[in-house]
């Protein structure tokens, strides 16, 4: 099971912690999520900003260089939003 972190600044997505083979760990601060990534406890993490409903933008952080999230992660994460 892949583990990703989420810093939800909107407070709207706190109930979505499991999507298929994806476990979403909720963090209250970006520094906590960053530590999870650096310690390899997380595959990646996302920040949902306060203005998400207006902007539709989510920021993704990963230790791998990729143009976009892998299709399986995008699909499962999008289902939770």
- Per-position pLDDT tens, the chain of length 81: 889 999 999 999 888 788 888 899 999 999 999 999 999 999 999 999 999 999 999 999 998 765 666 666 666 556 655
The CATH code of the domain that includes 59 is 3.40.190.10
Rounded Cα–Cα distance for residues 49 and 3 (Å): 20
Give the other-Cβ count within 10 Å of 74's Cβ: 12
Q: Determine contact, residues 64/25, Cβ cutoff 8 Å.
A: no
Task: Work out whether the CA dihedral 28, 37, 25, 47 comes out positive or negative.
Answer: positive
Count of alpha carbons within 13 angstroms of residue 19, beta-carbon side = 20
Number of domains in the chain: 1
- Domain holding 60, by residue range, is 2-80
């Amino acid at each position: 099971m892949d583990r990703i972190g989420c810093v939800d600044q909107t407070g709207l997505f706190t109930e979505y912690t499991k999507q298929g083979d994806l476990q979403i760990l909720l963090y209250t601060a970006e520094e906590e999520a960053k530590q999870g990534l650096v310690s390899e406890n997380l595959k990646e993490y996302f920040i949902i900003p306060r203005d998400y409903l207006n902007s539709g933008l989510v920021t993704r952080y990963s230790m791998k260089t990729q143009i976009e999230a892998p299709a399986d992660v995008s699909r499962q994460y999008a289902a939770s939003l």
